[in-house]
Amino acid sequence: MEHGHHEHGADASHSGGLKGYMIGFVLSVILTAIPFGLVMYPQFSTNVTIMLVLAFAVVQVIVHLVYFLHMDSSPEQRETVVSFVFTAIILAIIIGGSMWIMQNLNHNTMIMGN
């Protein structure tokens, strides 16, 4: 019976196993500690700090996708990657649309002072 486990070649460094998980874990800890340090010990303006934290968040999402969810550009993973991209697009539409609606609602119902 097939349980959805796929064997990848031993040459793939992010295909799983203890080594792949440890690399992912160490990268995740580093990518969490750096933004924490940026916020706790401010060296940059607020806007720069926010942009740096968001950049580290994007990199951390990629690390999680590669090292823990084993998503890569191999033909076997194409369906998984397409499903993920579709889900990300739908989420962006829903979240962006909700924010747009709430902003317009706030603007249209704002009480103007004298």
Q: Report the alpha-carbon distance of residue 70 to residue 73 in Å, rounded.
A: 10
Give me the domain span that covers residue 93. 75-114
Instruction: Provide the number of structural domains found in the chain.
Output: 2
Do 15 and 61 belong to one domain? yes
Q: In the structure encoding, which two tokens stand for residue 10, read together?
A: 């031993």
Q: Report the alpha-carbon distance of residue 6 to residue 77 in Å, rounded.
A: 10
Do 85 and 66 belong to one domain? no
Mean pLDDT across the stretch 60-82?
91
Do 100 and 61 belong to one domain? no
Transcribe 17-64 into DSSP letters: HHHHHHHHHHHHHHHHHHHHHHHHS--S-HHHHHHHHHHHHHHHHHHH
Do 65 and 79 belong to one domain? no
Q: Is residue 4 part of a domain?
A: no
Mean pLDDT of the chain: 87
Q: Is residue 54 part of a domain?
A: yes
Maximum pairwise Cα distance, the chain: 74
Do 20 and 60 belong to one domain? yes
pTM for the model stands at: 0.70
Q: Is residue 39 part of a domain?
A: yes
Q: In the structure encoding, which two tokens stand for residue 54, read together?
A: 């968001």
Mean pLDDT across the stretch 69-87?
91
Model confidence pLDDT, tens digit, residues 19-57: 999 999 999 999 999 999 999 999 999 999 999 999 999
